[in-house]
Homo-oligomer: A and B are copies of this chain.
Amino acid sequence: MVHIEVIKSLAQKTDSKIVMAIVDGLGGLPHPDTGRTALESARTPNLDALAAKSSCGLVEPVGIGITPGSGPSHLALFGYDPLKYEIGRGVLEALGVGVELERTDVAARGNFCTVDESGVITDRRAGRIPTEKNRELVDMLRKIRVDGAEVILEPGKLHRFVAVFRGEGLSGDIEDTDPQHAGEKPKPAVPRTPEAERTATVINQWLDRARAVLRDQHPANMVLLRGFAKHPDIPTMSEAFKLTPAAIATYPMYRGVARLVGMEVLETGATVEDEVRTLRENFGRFDFFYLHVKDTDSAGEDGNFARKVEVVEEFDRHLPAILELAPDVLVVTGDHSTPATLKAHSWHPVPFLISSKWVRPDRVSGFGETACAGGSLGTFPSLGALPLAMAHALKLAKFGA
């Protein structure tokens, strides 16, 4: 696969516009009764007509046989090698609850837990306290001040929260304080490298104060932190590809991943129609748009084949409104497959189409897994999607002379 440095050296700023529509978990497996996937079962006249004029293929998010999480699968489509740029667990959680991370932040997952009088953990999840109680306790913990960092807390569901340590010179190389089983005391934050020593001191100061604040609470009288991770050292899409990118996505995690690579995250509504309106309203201001459709993935994860079909059809209905804007390049694909029969992400390659004045069309006349397997682009790494889109938008100079 072409290295990001090569693409960077060829990238040129132009007025042309790219829309990359990522229909989450788009790929699937055949329904046992019909032999057709959800995408193949959906009535998609607009996608089919577009596919007939496009180059089609299948994308493989991380590698053959690899089932990707949403973080790596999106990074790959945005042009970043997911094996090189890993998003740590704490960072992903922070993005998921909508924390706007800065580049020096260190994030961790938190649990409220129960400890006995000697400080030994009796329940790692504090009896799964109600979310409402969680919010109250987080509000109490927000009053804690420590030296050398601002601490940002965001409640999650039940006993879960996210802690973000903000300040210069912090490191994510910190061992979990969660011993992973009851019967032990919470561990202190232990640095894995000398550079992380000061960070550990900051976190331990915060943990001591949290213990004091929660002392009289029950059952949630202590906290455990794990998955410490720093914001990845990743170039923005502006730095790497000379793009001015915008994200149109409703779920926090996807908005967060987009922010991670330097996209401006636009306010939008909950439906595909809202998202397309946001695209139209902002079409003049950017040259790359990431438009995310979430509900295909949720339907797949729920095993709801019919619902997945519906969401694909909903997207298809709004496709003409996207085409009306006449982007120079339109890519329609997914970040990974989520077959409703498997009720989970999967390793199967994902249908991909690219529409532009400069495509070499193929024999594909409908948008689906089997059709795209016969497309002219073959099966290729998702990491190729962005260079391909930029090429068709005439945003990549010639390599060599």
Contact = CB atoms under 8 A, between A and B. Distances in A.
A63 B358 contact: no
Interface string A334-374: 00000100101111100000000010111100000110011
A374 B377 contact: no
A69 interface: yes
Contact of A82 (B342, B344, B361, B399): B399
Given A29-B360, A360-B29, A384-B64, A69 B398 contact: yes
Interface residues of A, number: 64
Nearest to A64: B384
A347 B69 contact: no
A14 to B, nearest CB: 14
Contacts of A389: 65
A73 B27 CA distance: 32
A68 interface: yes
A360 B348 contact: yes
B89 A401 contact: yes
B398 A68 contact: yes
Contact of A380 (B64, B83, B358, B400): B64
Contact of A379 (B66, B378, B398): B378
A396 B89 contact: no
Contacts of A68: 398-400
Query: What's the dominant secondary structure at chain A's contact region?
Result: loop
Contacts of A377: 379
A389 B65 CA distance: 8
A2 B66 contact: yes
A65 B388 contact: yes
B346 A387 contact: no
Interface string A53-87: 00000100011111111111100000000110011
A6 B63 CA distance: 10
Contacts of A360: 29-30, 37, 348, 369-370
A153 interface: no
Interface string A383-401: 0101111110000111111
B401 A71 contact: yes
Contact of A370 (B65, B339, B363): B363
Nearest to A68: B399
B358 A66 contact: no
Interface in A1-29: 1-3, 6-7, 10, 29
A340 to B, nearest CB: 13
B67 A387 contact: no
Contacts of A388: 64-65, 347
A255 to B, nearest CB: 16
A41 to B, nearest CB: 14
Contacts of A363: 370, 374
B63 A401 contact: no
Nearest to A401: B69
A399 B62 contact: yes
Given A63-B2, A391-B347, A401-B70, A380 B380 contact: no
Interface of A: 1-3, 6-7, 10, 29-30, 35, 37, 58, 62-73, 82-83, 86-87, 89, 92, 339, 342, 344-348, 358, 360-363, 369-370, 373-380, 384, 386-391, 396-401
Given A1-B63, A6-B83, A64-B387, 12 more contacts: A10-B66, A66-B399, A68-B398, A68-B400, A69-B401, A82-B399, A342-B358, A345-B398, A348-B360, A370-B376, A376-B379, A378-B378
